[in-house]
């Protein structure tokens, strides 16, 4: 679809983060990154791309709700976030905005971030906003029903590391035990 536009050309494609880094040899002006990758987090790929290619335009295209992930994607180094549900009608506009050096978000997300910046406030105790990127990712996977072992495999980390993240999440959110953490994570996912 993108190659149908005279000013756009897809020069390479990759199925995972390692392939994406190899394909960077084609010197693209932009990378379009999915958050759901097989061997690593799309947010980790965005961070790596930003570190190695500071001038690269990066657009995250994902099935994950922008209310949960757009701000984190921007903090990781992306220049825009587009949900796959909106992609058909907005993808070319998003690409052109990001290539022009602008930030691309949906109107609703722009308004949400503007309100958050306009009204300074502390993160309340027990807020997920206080979680690190990895802790947030672990909480999200718990809410989707993944076990500790499955999360460790998915994030390519040891079980002990995932258990440490779970302990940190429980402490930061004021949650007493693993069952309560699972219940909280599921309810949180369902409320989004």
Computed over every residue of the chain, the mean pLDDT equals 85
| Predicted confidence (pLDDT) per residue in 8-30, tens digit | 889 999 888 888 899 999 999 99
Q: Which helix (H) or strand (E) holds 25?
A: none
What does the DSSP assignment read for 123-138? PPTT-GGGS-HHHHHH
pLDDT of residue 110 exceeding 80: no
Side-chain-side CA neighbours of residue 15 (13 Å): 1
| Predicted confidence (pLDDT) per residue in 91-104, tens digit | 899 999 999 999 99
What pLDDT score does 125 carry?
Answer: 45
**What gap in Å lies between CA 48 and CA 54, rounded to an integer?**
10
Q: How far is CA 42 from the centre of its chain?
A: 6
- The neighbouring-strand residues paired with 82 are 61
Q: Where does CATH 1.10.10.10 sit in the chain?
A: 128-191
CATH classification code of 128-191: 1.10.10.10
What pLDDT score does 28 carry?
Answer: 93
**Per-residue pLDDT averaged across 49-61, rounded?**
93
3-state SS class at 40:
coil
CATH classification code of 2-118: 3.40.50.2300
168-177 contact pairs (CB < 8 A, 24+): 168/131, 168/132, 168/135, 169/131, 169/135, 169/138, 169/139, 172/126, 172/130, 172/131, 172/135, 173/126, 173/127, 173/128, 173/131, 174/125, 174/126
Tokens read off for 161: 């590391």
What pLDDT score does 168 carry?
Answer: 92
pTM: 0.65
Q: Where does CATH 3.40.50.2300 sit in the chain?
A: 2-118
What pLDDT score does 30 carry?
Answer: 95
Q: Which helix (H) or strand (E) holds 33?
A: strand 30-33
């Amino acid at each position: 679809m993108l190659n149908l536009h005279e000013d756009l050309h897809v020069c390479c494609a990759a199925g995972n983060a390692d392939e994406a880094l190899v394909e960077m040899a084609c010197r693209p002006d932009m990378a379009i990154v999915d958050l759901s990758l097989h061997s690593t987090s799309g947010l980790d790929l965005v961070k790596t791309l930003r570190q190695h290619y500071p001038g690269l335009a990066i657009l995250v295209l994902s099935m994950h709700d922008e209310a949960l992930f757009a701000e984190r994607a921007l903090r990781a180094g992306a220049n825009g976030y587009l949900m796959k549900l909106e992609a058909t009608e907005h993808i070319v506009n998003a690409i052109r905005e990001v290539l022009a050096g602008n930030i691309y978000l949906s109107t609703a997300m722009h308004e949400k971030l503007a309100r958050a910046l306009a009204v300074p406030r502390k993160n309340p105790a027990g807020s997920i906003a206080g979680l690190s990127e990895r802790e947030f990712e672990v909480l999200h996977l718990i809410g989707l029903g993944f076990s500790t072992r499955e999360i460790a495999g998915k994030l390519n980390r040891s079980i002990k590391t995932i258990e440490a993240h779970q302990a940190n999440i429980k402490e930061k959110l004021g949650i007493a035990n693993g069952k309560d953490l699972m219940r909280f994570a599921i309810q949180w996912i369902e409320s989004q």
